[in-house]
Chains A and B, each alone.
Chain A
Amino acid sequence: MNRGQFLRTAILLPVCFTVILSVAFYFGFSKNEGFISPVKNGARLSYFDDLEHKADNDDVINAVDDLTLLKANDNIGEITIGKSTSTLRYNAEFSYQQDSMSIMPQSVVPGDIGCVYVYAFDSNITPDDRGKGALIDGVFGKHNYAFVDEMEMNSVDEVMMYSPDCGKSLVLYCQNRQGAGYVSTYTAFIYKEVE
């Protein structure tokens, strides 16, 4: 075997194969990206609350006129029940609910005809504030509500099915706490908007 023959077989041939196969490898992988990773793109593995943006969510967001433009946990202003004021968030996750009340996605925009559903922990509505008026002040403007009624409900679905007679209303509801722990029933406080 002479030197030329060796160089042709041992160097030139592999180099040619390398060029062809490297390109094929790259395009083969690019076309089958789904096969490469064991986890599907967009898959959900756990249910974490968005704590990463908790500091950003402390600030009230810029004004919007539609609830669908909001993200979960967005700070949309304040809600005052009687004398107590709490942060009002859109569709707040569980860890945000400890110090905030949550305006549910089934709601209408405060001030529109329909019902605004707000969820709170029982412990965040003090006994003194029950039966008093409410005020929502935030990105949707200022809205005053007068207390109308207090009702016992068996489930969240029942709360959501309930629609007060008044045109612009607010339903504030909480799961009833009883000593240590809580029961499966809910209390709904019904309000109507006043000028």
Chain B
Amino acid sequence: MGLKATRRILCTILALVISVCTLLTIGSVAFKFTVGSQPVVTKQLINGDAISEAERQLEEKFEALEIKSGIPKRVFLMVNDNTSVEDAMDTAMQNVFGEENADMYSNNRVEYFYNLCTEYLDGNGIPYTEENVRLVADEAAHIYSDCVGIHGELYVVGHITEVSSVCLKLAYSAIAMIVLSLMLMCVLFKTRENAYLYTLAGVSGGSLAALFGALACLIARVGMDISVQPAVYTNGANGIVRLCYVAIMASGVMIFAATTVVMFVIYAKKNQETLRKDVRFAKIISKL
């Protein structure tokens, strides 16, 4: 095997490494900013459907509490005047990430409902005993927690932290590998253009693989058949994965377009230079 052939094989291997690293970089960055991103996960899970369902659940459950306790549901629903259901659910999600009280049940919440009830009872001159109203307030706080709070928090937080950290490390390592491969390629070729071309071919292959791989996953709904309780969160949970695939595809298209343009520019420049050299050489020959 000649030197040229060996160099070509080495370059092909390095271009493949660059392709793999490009794919890993695109995937990792897209993962970090979708599945591993707190605002994205919050926005997807706490969507309009989830908010309106939570409002409906609160209405129905407080209506039942009205019949059980004799205190009108509008008294309990005054909690929404202070903090809307949407804001409360957002706070719950923030608390999930802050590893704080995400279920939204607390002694302060019980006290808050107790004050709402006693204000109503005092205002209407209805006699009550503190202990009885406290039991009602406690049940109201539990209902609020059931409807507005987020309960399965541990997996979400642990997973997002893991995804963020793994993706970041993977992206840095992949970029380092791309740079290293480029440097090796520059050593292999006397003219930089060839090294750049092989590198760009690798990047372009990786970005196209990201585009088609994500498209295949999107069509086959890979990871998008998650069922979450209550069902109203299922769309949001699957939406995060969908968003991740779309981000990978969009990044793939952009990087592919950019590398293709650069490759053609390099090719055109190289040809122009060769033409100029040929013309100069022809002039020298003709002078002789």
Contact = CB atoms under 8 A, between A and B. Distances in A.
Nearest to A174: B68
Contact of A44 (B63, B66, B229): B229
A10 B263 CA distance: 7
B136 A182 contact: yes
B135 A184 contact: yes
Given A42-B229, A52-B231, A180-B69, A1 B132 contact: no
Contacts of A68: none
Nearest to A181: B132
A175 B241 CA distance: 46
Interface string A1-26: 10000100110011111101111111
Interface stretch (A30-38, A70-78, A129-137, A141-149): A30-38
Nearest to A31: B222
B174 to A, nearest CB: 13
Given A14-B208, A29-B223, A43-B229, A177 B217 contact: no
A13 B201 contact: yes
A180 B216 CA distance: 60
Given A95-B57, A180-B69, A36 B228 contact: no
A96 B222 CA distance: 37
A140 interface: no
A97 to B, nearest CB: 6
Contacts of A26: 213, 216-217, 220, 222
Interface stretch (B76-84, B145-153, B175-183, B278-286): B145-153
A20 to B, nearest CB: 8
Given A38-B156, A180-B132, A48 B230 contact: yes
B159 to A, nearest CB: 5
A179 interface: yes
A49 B60 contact: yes
B213 A29 contact: yes
A33 B237 CA distance: 13
A181 B68 CA distance: 8
A194 B64 CA distance: 33
B128 A179 contact: yes
B70 A177 contact: yes
Given A38-B160, A46-B54, A13 B12 contact: yes
A96 to B, nearest CB: 8
Given A25-B213, A26-B216, A180-B128, A45 B60 contact: no
B35 A17 contact: no
Given A17-B15, A46-B149, A181-B133, A25 B127 contact: no
Interface residues of A, number: 55
Contacts of B222: 26, 29-30, 33, 36
Interface in B141-174: 143, 146-152, 155-156, 159-160, 163
B45 interface: yes
Interface string B230-244: 111100011011001
B266 to A, nearest CB: 9
B210 A25 contact: yes
Contact of A181 (B69, B197, B210, B267): B69
A97 B212 CA distance: 52
B209 interface: yes
Given A30-B222, A179-B132, A22 B213 contact: yes
B23 interface: yes
Nearest to A50: B230
5 contacts: A26-B216, A44-B230, A51-B60, A94-B65, A95-B60
Interface of B: 12, 15-16, 19-20, 23, 27, 35-36, 41, 45, 53-54, 56-57, 60-61, 63-71, 117, 121, 126-129, 131-136, 143, 146-152, 155-156, 159-160, 163, 193-194, 197-198, 200-202, 204-206, 208-210, 212-214, 216-217, 220, 222-223, 225-233, 237-238, 240-241, 244, 260, 263-264, 267, 270-271, 274
User: Nearest 7 CB-CB pairs, A to B?
Assistant: A25-B213, A17-B205, A181-B132, A21-B209, A36-B223, A47-B146, A14-B205
Interface of A: 1, 6, 9-10, 13-18, 20-26, 29-30, 33, 35-49, 51-52, 94-98, 121-124, 175, 177-184
Given A121-B64, A183-B131, 7 more contacts: A14-B208, A25-B217, A45-B230, A95-B60, A96-B64, A180-B128, A183-B135
